Amino acid sequence: MNPKIERIIYIGIILVLSGLLISFGKKDVELRKQIPITVEELYKKLANPKINIQIIDVRPYEIPEEEEDEAEETDYYTGVHIPGAIPFPDCDESKTPEEALPQINPYLPTVIVSKDGDPEIFKKCAKKFPFAQNLKGGMVAWDDEGYPEDEGEYTPPAAGGGGGCL
């Protein structure tokens, strides 16, 4: 067989297979967005230092003083939050603490945490994070399971830090 024709055939096969691979990858990402991650699955991922995952907490950062009496710890970020979670209230940069904004990476695998796993806020936020999953049951489910929690204001991680956050 002519070497030029053989080369063209191989390049054609490679292009077709590459197209299929890209198509399957896009479908996988879309399917993962539709399946919420459980608190148990998230805990296991966070405990593994080899897995790089970003936790975005979309609850209000703080509850105004006039609402404090009625608020539960799981209603707002400074009450309790998952260790290492980045506050991004309502997925709105204008409501986010200034020191948290540089920590948000839209290209990392991301878990969106709301109070109770609200699918509407997840849909809004998933537009900003191509590799996002919703936390099933939200912060209420995390709290109910008794997994580790932090409380108080957000502090960015120290430079050069590494490993799992739990």
Q: What's the confidence (pLDDT) of residue 161?
A: 45
Q: Could you give the residue ranges of the DSSP H alpha helices within 77-152? A: 119-126, 138-145
Q: pLDDT digit string (tens) for 93-124? A: 999 999 999 999 999 999 999 999 999 999 99
> Which residues of the chain are modeled with pLDDT < 70?
29, 31, 159-166
DSSP 3-state of 152? coil
Instruction: Look up the pTM and report it.
Output: 0.78
Name, in order, each residue with C-beta under 8 angstroms of 164's C-beta and a sequence gap of 6 or more: 46, 47, 48, 49, 51
Q: Write the single-letter amino acid at 88.
A: F
